[in-house]
Amino acid sequence: MTMPFGVYLHIPFCSRRCDYCAFATWSDRHHLQDSYLDALGAEISREIAGGMPVATSVFVGGGTPSLVDPVRLGELVALIPVVDGAEITIECNPESVTAEHISAYQIAGVNRLSFGVQSLSAEVLRSLGRDHDPDTVVRAVGIARSGGIQRLNLDLIYGGAGESILDWRYTIEQVINLQPDHVSAYALTIEAGTPLADDPSRHPDDDDQADKYLLANELLTAAGYVNYEISNWAKPGQECEHNLLYWRQGNYRGFGCAAHSHEDGRRWWNVRTPDRYIELVASNDPVEASAEDLDPERRRVEGLQLSLRTREGVPRESLSESDIGLLDSLIVVSGDTITLSTEGRLLANEVAVRLR
């Protein structure tokens, strides 16, 4: 049996930077796209020649991967050796997807798309600084399905300024109507150095976000979606294999600027800027910026913290009997396994700090 192994490709280009975003993305480096894709190809080929394992999942993220030439991106994806039936996902923004994208992706073996939807309220999208409108989302989903890619994830963000509980309900109901097989819903977070961080009037409210999380869970569960990680719901059998690899501390290789990798307790990450990344690959120098080695105890505890977030949960002995009693409303004890209750998902850190 092939051991799970993931490959991540980072595409750092965006048409604009959203006010809440702190990712390694740039809106002023589009002139580097061709040389960046060349560098990605060279880095991937170098790793393959060094004996990189066959991938069970591939994820292309960013940034906005759908901004770069889809044929060239598809050629890069096709370089990666994968097992039969591997899950291959590309992140897309709804406004930048065309039938030509879907055709090129399909030729490369892509079988799953993740759309950055965030909201289906036009006003909320404007407040988040997004370039698309709700109709664009519907159109993009239709293009994907007409082109033959049926596995779809819709990414959502809740808690933006001006978003009412009715706005959020409308978004979830419209997402359900689109019938994706996977939905991710994340609370808007404040990242240092972003325009959102500098504007307290737009900071989210914890109680409001808790209400919206509970509403999303209620509506998605009623529609047949299963919560398998705090922020992720899927139709049965449609969980994201690549994300599961991360949550299970699997091994993976990241390509591109700022991409992270992990192998048996060693984590490392590449230089952050596309300019420097291109230079290093061109000169055949290492692109690794820094690394850390996890000792067995730290790795064990991190494994518990990650597993706690999932429906797999943690062994009962991971909590003391006194903590099990104290955390009664936040956890569900079933035989030898402990999982988070719905309320517990909102206060996961309260449980995680007591893991032993």
Lay out the sheet containing 314-315: strands in order across: 314-315, 337-340, 331-334
- Residues of the chain with pLDDT below 50 are none
238-247 pLDDT, tens per residue?
A: 999 999 999 9
DSSP H helix total and E strand total for the chain: 13, 15
The domain locations on the chain are 5-247, 297-352
Which residues, 6 or more positions from 39, have their beta carbon under 8 angstroms from its beta carbon? 277, 278, 281, 282
For the chain, the C-alpha Rg in angstroms (whole number) is 20
Paired with 70 in beta bridges are none
* CA neighbor of 136 nearest in space, from 179, 98, 94: 94
- HSE-up of residue 214 (Cα within 13 Å, Cβ side): 13
User: Collapsing DSSP states into helix, strand and coil, what is residue 161?
Assistant: coil
Lay out the sheet containing 266-270: strands in order across: 226-229, 232-234, 182-187, 151-158, 112-118, 82-92, 55-62, 5-11, 251-255, 260-263, 266-270, 288-293
Query: Is-contact 25 17, C-beta < 8 A?
Result: yes
117-162 pLDDT, tens per residue?
A: 999 998 898 888 787 889 999 999 999 999 999 999 999 999 998 9
Which residues, 6 or more positions from 135, have their beta carbon under 8 angstroms from its beta carbon? none
- What does the pLDDT read at residue 21? 84
User: Collapsing DSSP states into helix, strand and coil, what is residue 269?
Assistant: strand
Question: CATH 3.20.20.70: does it fit domain 5-247?
Answer: yes
In whole angstroms, give the CA distance from residue 272 to residue 269.
8
- What does the pLDDT read at residue 161? 86
In whole angstroms, give the CA distance from residue 214 to residue 220.
10
Q: What is the pTM for the complete model shown?
A: 0.95
